[in-house]
Amino acid sequence: MSPLLLDEVEEDAFKELFNISFGMTAATLSEMVDAEIELSVPCFSMLTETSVSDYIRQLYGMAVGLVGMRYRLVFSEGHSIPGMAVLLVRAADLGHFLDALHGGPVPESMARLVEEESMQLTGEILLYTCASSLSLLFASEIAGEKPVFFRGDPEALPAYLALADATDAGDRPLLMLRVDFALTGKSVTGSLLTWMDGNGLPLLKTEIDHFISMHMA
């Protein structure tokens, strides 16, 4: 782990940045499913890449459905931080989530045929909203990859969830933020997670401190 950690004020600011970002994302999701979105308080954790799949399994068990998007916050040439944004639900809730997205029941015979395309399209909207709003708050540029859908046991996730340009795969520290959500009246709960390369913490601290001086001082 990096010895340079966020202090209490910086951690609160980091949570607030994510809270604003997911507030924008939740508003978009609310329009997509025509329902109110209930949000939890953001939760901050420090993990490693190899522990993410265990973290997800502890949250939602052995069968999950998720869509993830790698992104990069670019501050200047040679100064960027890779990250990952993930929309996560239990596999058992995917059908209810598809029903909400399509405005009515999706026939069971069609669900598996449309879930990947529907989740990827949803990810393109929601995850890019999340990452781009973080980029706006940090006053950085944003580079994002196409979202990818996964359904199955989180044990199979490490390679899928790895950040781009891994130099110390498995041992890289991650700064993770998570918000849980519920779709009112839709029988769907889930989480939005985003994590960033902890090796970029010195640069991230600089940007968080700038945000604090501009908006929280």
pTM of the model: 0.87
Calpha distance 212→217 (Å, rounded) = 6
pLDDT of residue 108: 82
**For the segment 196-217, what is each residue's pLDDT rounded down to a tens digit?**
888 888 888 888 888 888 776 6
- Look at 17 and 87; give whichever has higher pLDDT: 87
CB-CB neighbours of 130 under 10 Å: 28
**Domains in the chain, number:** 1
Residue 53 lies in a domain: yes
Residue 1 lies in a domain: no
Residue 40 lies in a domain: yes
CB-CB neighbours of 143 under 10 Å: 15
Residue 2 lies in a domain: no
What CATH number does the domain containing 172 carry? 3.40.1550.10
Q: What is the mean predicted confidence (pLDDT) over 67-88? A: 90
- Look at 164 and 26; give whichever has higher pLDDT: 26
Q: Which of 211, 196, 175 is nearest to 74 (CA)?
A: 196
pLDDT at residue 1 above 50? no
Calpha distance 108→113 (Å, rounded) = 10
Residue 3 lies in a domain: no
Q: What is the mean predicted confidence (pLDDT) over 33-51? A: 88
pLDDT of residue 78: 83
Q: Which of 106-115, 181-190, 199-208 has the highest mean pLDDT?
A: 181-190
The mean pLDDT value of the chain amounts to 86
Owning domain of residue 181: 8-215
**For the segment 132-180, what is each residue's pLDDT rounded down to a tens digit?**
888 888 888 988 889 999 999 988 876 677 776 655 555 788 888 899 9
Q: Where are the beta strands (DSSP E) in the chain?
A: 37-39, 43-48, 64-76, 79-90, 141-144, 148-152, 173-183, 188-197
Calpha distance 10→54 (Å, rounded) = 27
Alpha-carbon distances of 123 from 12, 94, 143, 170, 172, rounded to whole Å: 27, 14, 15, 25, 25
